Amino acid sequence: MVRGKNILLGVSGGIAVYKACALASKLTQKGANVKVMMTENATKFVSALTFQALSRNPVYVDTFDEKDPEKIAHIDIADWADIAIIAPATANIIGKLANGIADDMLSTALLATRADSYIAPAMNVHMYAHPAVIENMKQLEAWGYHFIEPGAGYLACGYVGKGRLEEPETIIEVIEQHQQIGQPLQGKKVLISAGPTREIIDPVRFFSNRSSGKMGFRLAETAAELGAEVTVIAGPTDVKVNNSNVNRIDVISAEEMYKAMHEAFPAADIVIKAAAVADYRPKQVHKGKMKKQAGDLTLEMERTKDILLSLGEQKENQFLVGFAAETDNVIEYGRKKLEKKNLDAIVINNVAAEGAGFAGDTNIVTYLNRSDQSEEIPLATKNEIAKKLWQFIIRDMKDERN
Ligand code: PMT
Q: At what angle do helices 48-55 and 17-29 cross, to 10 degrees?
A: 20
Using the mean position of ligand 1's atoms as its centre, give its distance from the Cα of residue 266 in Å.
Answer: 21
The pLDDT score that the predictor gives to residue 76 is: 92
Please, what sign has the CA dihedral across residues 347, 352, 353, 357?
Answer: positive
**Which atom in ligand 1 lies closest to the alpha carbon of residue 278?**
36
Q: What is the mean pLDDT of the chain?
A: 94
Q: Is pLDDT above 90 for 163?
A: no
Q: At what angle do helices 91-98 and 131-142 cross, to 10 degrees?
A: 50
The pLDDT score that the predictor gives to residue 152 is: 78
Please, what sign has the CA dihedral across residues 28, 30, 31, 35?
Answer: negative
CB 87 within 8 A of CB 20: yes
Q: Is 157 a catalytic residue?
A: yes
Among protein residues, the one with the nearest Cα to ligand 1's atom 13 is 325
Mean pLDDT along residues 378-384: 91
4 versus 262: which is more confidently predicted? Answer: 262
The pLDDT score that the predictor gives to residue 49 is: 97
Give residue ranges with CB within 6 A of ligand 1: 195, 211-215, 254, 273-277, 279, 304, 306-308, 322-325, 337, 349, 351, 357-359, 382
DSSP class of residue 197 equals -
CB 171 within 8 A of CB 23: yes
**Which atom in ligand 1 lies closest to the alpha carbon of residue 304?**
36
The pLDDT score that the predictor gives to residue 31 is: 93
Q: Is pLDDT above 70 for 402?
A: no
Return the percentage of the chain with pLDDT > 70, whole number. 99
CA–CA separation, 287 and 350 (whole Å): 38
Using the mean position of ligand 1's atoms as its centre, give its distance from the Cα of residue 324 in Å.
Answer: 6
The pLDDT score that the predictor gives to residue 2 is: 86
Using the mean position of ligand 1's atoms as its centre, give its distance from the Cα of residue 323 in Å.
Answer: 5
- Which among 273, 304, 384 is the best mutation to test ligand 1's pocket, defined by most ligand atoms within 8 Å of the CB? 273
Which architecture characterizes domain 189-401 according to CATH?
3-Layer(aba) Sandwich (3.40)
Mean pLDDT along residues 240-247: 87
**Which atom in ligand 1 lies closest to the alpha carbon of residue 308?**
39
Using the mean position of ligand 1's atoms as its centre, give its distance from the Cα of residue 163 in Å.
Answer: 32
Between 75-84, 124-133, 145-154, the lowest mean confidence (pLDDT) is in 145-154
Report pLDDT digits (tens) over 300-338: 999 999 999 999 999 999 999 999 999 999 999 999 999
Mean pLDDT along residues 97-105: 97
Phi, psi (deg, nearest 5) at residue 8: -90, 115
Between 56-60, 166-170, 262-266, 398-402, the lowest mean confidence (pLDDT) is in 398-402
Among protein residues, the one with the nearest Cα to ligand 1's atom 17 is 276
**Which atom in ligand 1 lies closest to the alpha carbon of residue 214?**
4
Using the mean position of ligand 1's atoms as its centre, give its distance from the Cα of residue 25 in Å.
Answer: 46
Q: Is pLDDT above 70 for 401?
A: no
* Long-range contacts at 377-380 (CB < 8 A, ≥ 24 apart): 379/355
Using the mean position of ligand 1's atoms as its centre, give its distance from the Cα of residue 401 in Å.
Answer: 27
The pLDDT score that the predictor gives to residue 155 is: 79
The pLDDT score that the predictor gives to residue 181 is: 66
Mean pLDDT along residues 261-272: 98
Report pLDDT digits (tens) over 31-79: 999 999 999 999 999 999 999 999 999 999 999 988 888 888 889 999 9
C-alpha pair distances (Å), 24 with each of 1, 41, 129, 236, 264: 15, 18, 28, 46, 47
Report pLDDT digits (tens) over 187-220: 999 999 999 999 999 999 999 999 999 999 999 9
CATH topology for the 6-181 domain: Rossmann fold (3.40.50)
**Whole-structure pTM value:** 0.71
Listed by start position, the domains of the chain span 6-181, 189-401
Using the mean position of ligand 1's atoms as its centre, give its distance from the Cα of residue 236 in Å.
Answer: 14
Using the mean position of ligand 1's atoms as its centre, give its distance from the Cα of residue 223 in Å.
Answer: 19
Question: b/e for 354-367, b at 16 or more Cβ within 10 A?
Answer: eebbbeeebbbbbb
Tally of CA atoms within 13 A in the half-sphere of 21 that contains its CB: 16
- Which among 207, 209, 210, 211 is the best mutation to test ligand 1's pocket, defined by most ligand atoms within 8 Å of the CB? 211
CA–CA separation, 331 and 348 (whole Å): 7
- Which among 232, 257, 308 is the best mutation to test ligand 1's pocket, defined by most ligand atoms within 8 Å of the CB? 308
Question: Cis omega (within 30 of 0) on the bond before 184?
Answer: no
Catalytic annotation, pick one of 134, 152, 156, 157:
157
The pLDDT score that the predictor gives to residue 157 is: 77
- Which among 192, 277, 349 is the best mutation to test ligand 1's pocket, defined by most ligand atoms within 8 Å of the CB? 277
Report the candidate in 45, 54, 59 with the shortest Cα–Cα distance to residue 14: 45
Among protein residues, the one with the nearest Cα to ligand 1's atom 18 is 276
CA–CA separation, 264 and 277 (whole Å): 17
Burial class (CB in 10 A: 0-12, 13-18, 19+), 243: buried
Confidence of residue 102 (pLDDT cuts 50, 70, 90): very high
3-state SS track over 348-385: EEECCCCCCCCCCCEEEEEEEECCCCEEEEEEEEHHHH
The pLDDT score that the predictor gives to residue 230 is: 97
The pLDDT score that the predictor gives to residue 160 is: 80
Give the angle subtended at the CA of 163 by the CAs of 169 and 41, to the nearest 5°.
85
**Which atom in ligand 1 lies closest to the alpha carbon of residue 261?**
39
Confidence of residue 153 (pLDDT cuts 50, 70, 90): confident
CA–CA separation, 377 and 363 (whole Å): 9
The pLDDT score that the predictor gives to residue 85 is: 98
**Which atom in ligand 1 lies closest to the alpha carbon of residue 382?**
4
CA–CA separation, 297 and 281 (whole Å): 16
DSSP string, 73-124: HHHHHHHH-SEEEEEEEPHHHHHHHHTT---SHHHHHHHH--SEEEEEE---
